[in-house]
Amino acid sequence: MGFADQRFNVNLSILFTELPLLERPAAAAAAGFTAVELWWPWVDSPTPEQSELDALRKAIQDAGVRLTGLNFYAGQLPGPDRGALSVPGEESERFRANVDVAAAFAESVGCRALNALYGNRVDGVDPAEQDALALENLALAARAADRIGAVLLIEALNKPESPLYPLVSAPAAVEVVDKVNAATGLGNARFLMDLYHLSMNGEDLPAVIERYTAKTGHVQIADNPGRGAPGTGSLPLEDLLDRLRKAGYEGWVGLEYKPGDRPSREAFGWLPEEARAVR
């Protein structure tokens, strides 16, 4: 096996960001990709104008690409925020306001995976209170995802870059996945296995793959150190993805790396053309 045997999509919130949002789907298509994913594009608004949603939908459809993953509103990302759903007050309310908007947009473009970032710890707030709020809001998000036939993704980040984010290991994220599934009875919460974040936490990646592939709904990659393209660091990404395939994972692999000091279109030389054009 190898990279050519995987199903890759490109994250338009970290690649092609030298272009305006509405030009990125076409740029990804020109680079040979048939699928893309996005963080919530409107960092200041969980409920953008319908005209903005329509414009992005049209850009995706006109480019002929498929949106395979979308984040719910998560605050300033990239930036200091790492989610909103566990933050009491205005931020969690903004997340709630976003849930149906994001789900409706995802349904309109055939997207069947919605990622809900947990949110940072907040000074002066009991972590148990945040966790209770998170479970309530994740259950709300899981039900919205279920209504459109989608999965809800829950992601572990890394402690060096996100020191206030509480889910900084695969077991911590999977524990939340299990709690959401128990709370809703829907079984549509899944682990988002980001190999870059897990490697930054020093986890045993082959062991994570062996233990958690069955609960994984999406995979993302970047090399480490540097969060660059495969081959710019020391992670054995080809081997790790082969392990995932052998463990039964057949889903998308999101390219969530930084292009470096070059245009994004030049950051895919490592990837065979046939692994980009997957229908």
pLDDT confidence of residue 279: 62
The DSSP code for 72 is: P
Which residue out of 91, 256, 266, 274 is catalytically annotated?
Answer: 256
The pLDDT value given to residue 119: 96
Number of other CB atoms surrounding residue 214 within 10 Å: 11
Q: Give pLDDT, residue 51.
A: 98
**pLDDT: which is higher, 74 or 276:** 74
Nearest alpha carbon to residue 165 among 150, 181, 176 = 176
pLDDT at 1: 61
Selecting among 37, 91, 155, 203, the annotated active-site residue is 155
Higher local confidence (pLDDT), 131 or 79: 131
Q: Which residues contact 222 (CB under 8 A, 6 or more apart)?
A: 195, 196, 228, 229, 255, 256, 257, 258
Token readout for 123 is: 């000074």
Q: How confident is the model at residue 78 (pLDDT cuts 50, 70, 90)?
A: confident
CA–CA separation, 95 and 100 (whole Å): 10
Provide the pLDDT confidence category of residue 277 given band limits of 50, 70 and 90: confident
Cβ neighbourhood burial of 179 (10 Å; 0-12, 13-18, 19+): middle
Which of 235, 234, 202, 204 has its CA nearest to residue 220?
235
**Whether the Cβ atoms of residue 60 and residue 36 lie closer than 8 Å to each other:** yes
Whether the per-residue pLDDT at 235 is higher than 80: the answer is yes
Q: What distance in Å separates the CA atoms of residue 271 and residue 253, rounded to the nearest whole number?
A: 12
**pTM (two decimals):** 0.97
Write down the domain spans for the chain. Answer: 3-276
The amino acid occupying position 142 is A
The domain 3-276: what is its CATH number? 3.20.20.150
Q: Active site includes 256?
A: yes
Whole-number Å distance between alpha carbons of 4 and 7: 8
Torsion on CA atoms 135, 180, 141, 16, rounded to nearest 10: 100
pLDDT tens digits for range 184-225: 999 999 999 999 999 999 999 999 999 999 999 999 999 999
169: which 2 tokens? 């290991």
> 2 falls in which pLDDT band (50, 70, 90)?
confident
Q: Count CB neighbours of 222 within 10 A.
A: 26
Element (H, E) at 274: helix 273-276
CA distance 159 to 202: 10
* Averaged confidence pLDDT in the chain: 97
Percent of the chain with pLDDT over 70: 99
Q: Is the pLDDT score of 278 beyond 80?
A: no
Residue 154's DSSP bridge partners are: 191
The dihedral of CA 207, 213, 111, 76: what is its sign?
A: negative
- Indicate if 155 belongs to the active site: yes
Burial of 61 from C-beta contacts in 10 A (0-12 / 13-18 / 19+): middle
Residues 6+ apart with CB under 8 A from 279: 34
